[in-house]
Chains A and B, each alone.
Chain A
Amino acid sequence: MSLELDQESKRLGVVISGSLSKGIEVKLDSSASVEDMAVGRYVTIEGERRRFFGMITDIGLGVADPQITINPPDFSDPFIAEVMSGIAIYGSLSVMPLLTLSGDETSLLQGPQPVKTVPAHFSVVRTASQRDVELVFGQEGRERFFIGTPLDMETKVCLNLPVFVKRSNGIFGKAGTGKTFLTRLLLIGMLQSASAVNLIFDMHNEYGWAGTSESGHSVKGLKQLFPSKMALFTLDEESAKRRKVSADFVVRIGYDEIEPEDIEILRQTLNLTEASVQAVFELARQFGEESWIEKTIALQPGEASDLLDRLHIHEGTYRNLRRGLQKLQRLSFLVPRTSEKAVQKILSCLDQGTNVVLEFGSYRNDDAAHVLVANLLSRRIYEQYQRRTERALGEGSQSPRPLVITIEEAHKLLNPEVSKQTIFGTIAREMRKYNVTLLIVDQRPSGIDQEVMSQLGTKITCLLDNERDIDSVLAGVSGHNELRSVLAKLETKQQFLIFGHAVPMPAVLRTRDYGSTESYRELGLSGPAELKKKAEQDIEKLWGN
């Protein structure tokens, strides 16, 4: 215990210079080894009137006299090395002050405050204790979901879920850095707290049923963990069967549900010309929005040329459009008519508080399927939500349950060219007005429209090493340069940087364990044996008495 206390209050050094905008320079004491430091760690600074809470953003080496670097003393002698360290040569830290923890009435009531000044010269800097971290990030509870621990501590860092779902959020990181694990954890958090219902476009079939970890072992999906709270929809029944996944609903989309705007968004994917897109609107007007696709494809050569002349559509344009539409036809989930509309089915699930995962099955790499389905369904659902929210406003009744739509490979739906047209651009911009927000998961944030990026409330990012991606994620954040160095030094797995509305300050964290039996238990989830036992008990209760 005494060792732990010693570690908790370990003195690191003193503040020697700095500014609020550029961060604070700390000279390390000789007792604190520069090699024990790490960027992203928390420190507290004992100012004269208040305590500051900050994060190490850079670590350096300094010398009191430049001459020593030219004629270095004999460091093989331990005595000389010990004397010199901390005096003639020293380690230095760059610390970004983030919050103040003063003891006055305001801060006692309102918690840590954003930092507006810097500590005085030679204020003592110490490593942050577990208690400090708890004070800043709050304790785990119904509304606070434990997502990870600081790099060198076991303290639970929590995310404020109600605040999190109020705005659109983003999860970024290179492939294989743990985006999917993080997303899965956040979804579990939202499911458990019931702070929002989720619609997940599961491009890679990773969330609904079992997924795999980087090491190759299988981890449970949401449907396995929350059978009663989840509905599993699939676009590809065959793939689901092959994977032994029992889907609740097989999604079919009728041609009549596809509107000209949907084709407009697919322009790049289907390789359509600008003129073809215009022709779509003309043809839809001609044939009616419900059957224009079928009729356009079914046009006979003679019939076509008359019609095209009348509508002033060039022959080449028509051929281009036809090729594009035929590509769509190849998607087997598109059928001329459907008896049960997927949108209605999804909405009724969401209304009951059931979360929906839509698996893409073997269409996992089909951009056209991804863009078309995600956009088409989301637009209809968003329209419903918009209507309901407006009605609720008018009638003073309760507005619909917040909805979070999770999209992977978000750059395909939110790149600068299509973000103005897709519904996702609108949701990101209009934010929470209609209780619908996005959870964007992507590996190339630079491909996403900056306007959308700037609207994200909380950003969570695993390792990124492309300059443009880093810039894109950190654009507009205070302490941009400092966070940059932290972000580029993250480990490739299980570490992430989180900043934005749902956390009081940027934090580098180690992802909470997920996948082991123990982790499921910690998440309050029952194992298969327990589930079976519970089911048997339920049956007994039902029939027994």
Chain B
Amino acid sequence: MDKIAEVVESSTSQFTAQCYELHQAPPLGSLVKAGAGAVAVYAVVSQVITASVEPGRRAIARGKDEVDETAVYRENPQLLKLLRTDFTALVVGHRQETKLHHYLPPQPARLHSFVYVCEAQELQEFSQRFDCLSLLLAAQPAGLGDELIAAFLRQAAQAHQDHHKFLVAAGKELAVLLNGQTSRLNAILRRMKE
């Protein structure tokens, strides 16, 4: 398993990690893991930002005379050092020794922990239970949670042998959580299966 990023800001409910490679953030809704020792914090990628390394200094347009995007980077190799890609992930569980817990860890992920993208087997193990859905539903800003859930479940379904059965079970869990919010439930269900 290769590390892809490093935690640069951490709190109990979420952390931000900076990617080692520009534009190489994991997809929205991916399950990532911070730390690989005795305690690992699991989180779902909720936001990806690529911006200037220096806060307050915005990137400027450079491609007026270039044929395509790759030429911009080729002509300005310093860009790879001046720009960074960060992503924020919402904490949804943790592993202590070998035991997997679907609730927030006692301590947030440590700064400079390495971040890994969970592989199919780990994703399948984590998504046996749907406890994380209620945490994701509460994500801010409004509407983000719905997108996250749909993206997370789409990816998790791929890790399960019977995609359809997994999605139906998840849908039923959502139907219970979103009792009384039929239109919101419908919107998520439609996005889940696409």
Shortest beta-carbon distance from B169 to chain A in Å: 9
In angstroms, Cα B172 to Cα A30, docked, is 10
Tell me if B180 and A83 are in contact (CB < 8 A): no
Can you list, as one digit per residue, whether each of B162-186 has a CB less than 8 Å from chain A (1) or not (0)?
Answer: 0010011001101110011011011
Point out the residues of chain A lying under 8 angstroms from B172, CB to CB. Answer: 30, 83, 86-87
Known: A64-B179, A65-B179. 5 other contacts (CB 8 A): A77-B190, A79-B164, A80-B171, A82-B168, A83-B189
Q: Which residues of B does A touch, CB under 8 Å?
A: 164, 167-168, 171-172, 174-176, 179-180, 182-183, 185-186, 189-190, 193
In angstroms, Cα B180 to Cα A87, docked, is 12
**Candidates A68, A73, A79, A84; contact of B193 at CB < 8 Å:** A79
**Candidates B176, B183, B190; contact of A71 at CB < 8 Å:** B183
Point out the residues of chain B lying under 8 angstroms from A71, CB to CB. Answer: 182-183
**Candidates B168, B174, B179, B182; contact of A73 at CB < 8 Å:** B182
Tell me if A83 and B183 are in contact (CB < 8 A): no
Q: Does A530 contact B (CB under 8 A)?
A: no
Question: Which of B172, B174, B182, B185 has most A Cβ within 10 Å?
Answer: B182
Tell me if B179 and A88 are in contact (CB < 8 A): yes
Tell me if A79 and B182 are in contact (CB < 8 A): no
Point out the residues of chain A lying under 8 angstroms from B180, CB to CB. Answer: 65, 67
Q: How many residues of A are in contact with the other chain, CB < 8 A? A: 17
Point out the residues of chain A lying under 8 angstroms from B186, CB to CB. Answer: 73-74, 80
Tell me if B175 and A83 are in contact (CB < 8 A): yes
* 16 examples of A-B residue contacts, CB within 8 angstroms: A30-B172, A64-B175, A65-B179, A65-B180, A65-B182, A67-B182, A71-B183, A73-B182, A74-B186, A80-B189, A83-B175, A83-B189, A86-B172, A87-B176, A88-B175, A88-B179
In angstroms, Cα B175 to Cα A422, docked, is 67
Nearest opposing residue in chain A for B171, CB measure = A83
Nearest opposing residue in chain A for B182, CB measure = A68
In angstroms, Cα B163 to Cα A79, docked, is 12
Closest 9 CB pairs of A and B: A83-B171, A87-B175, A65-B180, A87-B172, A88-B175, A68-B182, A79-B193, A73-B186, A82-B168
Nearest opposing residue in chain B for A85, CB measure = B172
By DSSP majority rule, is chain B's interface helix, strand, loop, or mixed? helix
Shortest beta-carbon distance from B186 to chain A in Å: 5
Question: Which of B172, B175, B183, B185 has most A Cβ within 10 Å?
Answer: B175
Shortest beta-carbon distance from A75 to chain B in Å: 11
In angstroms, Cα B179 to Cα A125, docked, is 25
Point out the residues of chain B lying under 8 angstroms from A64, CB to CB. Answer: 175, 179
Shortest beta-carbon distance from B95 to chain A in Å: 30
Nearest opposing residue in chain B for A84, CB measure = B175
In angstroms, Cα B167 to Cα A80, docked, is 10
Shortest beta-carbon distance from B136 to chain A in Å: 17
Point out the residues of chain A lying under 8 angstroms from B183, CB to CB. Answer: 71
Point out the residues of chain A lying under 8 angstroms from B176, CB to CB. Answer: 87
In angstroms, Cα B176 to Cα A198, docked, is 63
In angstroms, Cα B186 to Cα A83, docked, is 10
In angstroms, Cα B169 to Cα A86, docked, is 11
In angstroms, Cα B193 to Cα A71, docked, is 21
Shortest beta-carbon distance from A66 to chain B in Å: 9
Nearest opposing residue in chain A for B183, CB measure = A71
Shortest beta-carbon distance from B137 to chain A in Å: 16
Shortest beta-carbon distance from A81 to chain B in Å: 10
Shortest beta-carbon distance from B151 to chain A in Å: 17
Point out the residues of chain A lying under 8 angstroms from B193, CB to CB. Answer: 79
In angstroms, Cα B185 to Cα A164, docked, is 59
Nearest opposing residue in chain A for B180, CB measure = A65
Point out the residues of chain A lying under 8 angstroms from B168, CB to CB. Answer: 79, 82-83
In angstroms, Cα B164 to Cα A80, docked, is 12
In angstroms, Cα B186 to Cα A77, docked, is 11
Shortest beta-carbon distance from A526 to chain B in Å: 58
Point out the residues of chain B lying under 8 angstroms from A73, CB to CB. Answer: 182, 185-186, 189
Tell me if A79 and B179 are in contact (CB < 8 A): no
In angstroms, Cα B189 to Cα A87, docked, is 14
Tell me if A79 and B175 are in contact (CB < 8 A): no
Shortest beta-carbon distance from B171 to chain A in Å: 3
In angstroms, Cα B100 to Cα A67, docked, is 38
Nearest opposing residue in chain A for B175, CB measure = A87
Can you list, as one digit per residue, whether each of A67-109 has a CB less than 8 Å from chain B (1) or not (0)?
Answer: 1100101100101101110111000000000000000000000
In angstroms, Cα B176 to Cα A74, docked, is 18
In angstroms, Cα B185 to Cα A82, docked, is 13
Point out the residues of chain A lying under 8 angstroms from B171, CB to CB. Answer: 79-80, 82-83
In angstroms, Cα B174 to Cα A84, docked, is 10
Nearest opposing residue in chain A for B192, CB measure = A79
In angstroms, Cα B182 to Cα A65, docked, is 9
Point out the residues of chain B lying under 8 angstroms from A68, CB to CB. Answer: 182
In angstroms, Cα B189 to Cα A82, docked, is 11
In angstroms, Cα B164 to Cα A82, docked, is 10
Shortest beta-carbon distance from A158 to chain B in Å: 43
Shortest beta-carbon distance from B160 to chain A in Å: 15
Tell me if A88 and B182 are in contact (CB < 8 A): yes
Question: Which of A79, A83, A84 has most B Cβ within 10 Å?
Answer: A83
Point out the residues of chain B lying under 8 angstroms from A67, CB to CB. Answer: 180, 182
In angstroms, Cα B169 to Cα A79, docked, is 11
Point out the residues of chain B lying under 8 angstroms from A87, CB to CB. Answer: 172, 175-176
Nearest opposing residue in chain B for A83, CB measure = B171
Point out the residues of chain A lying under 8 angstroms from B175, CB to CB. Answer: 64, 83-84, 87-88
Point out the residues of chain B lying under 8 angstroms from A80, CB to CB. Answer: 171, 186, 189-190
Point out the residues of chain A lying under 8 angstroms from B182, CB to CB. Answer: 65, 67-68, 71, 73, 88
Point out the residues of chain B lying under 8 angstroms from A83, CB to CB. Answer: 168, 171-172, 174-175, 189
Question: Which of A30, A65, A86 has most B Cβ within 10 Å?
Answer: A65
In angstroms, Cα B182 to Cα A86, docked, is 15
Shortest beta-carbon distance from A63 to chain B in Å: 10
Nearest opposing residue in chain B for A86, CB measure = B172
Shortest beta-carbon distance from A72 to chain B in Å: 8
In angstroms, Cα B164 to Cα A67, docked, is 27
In angstroms, Cα B171 to Cα A65, docked, is 16
Nearest opposing residue in chain A for B169, CB measure = A83
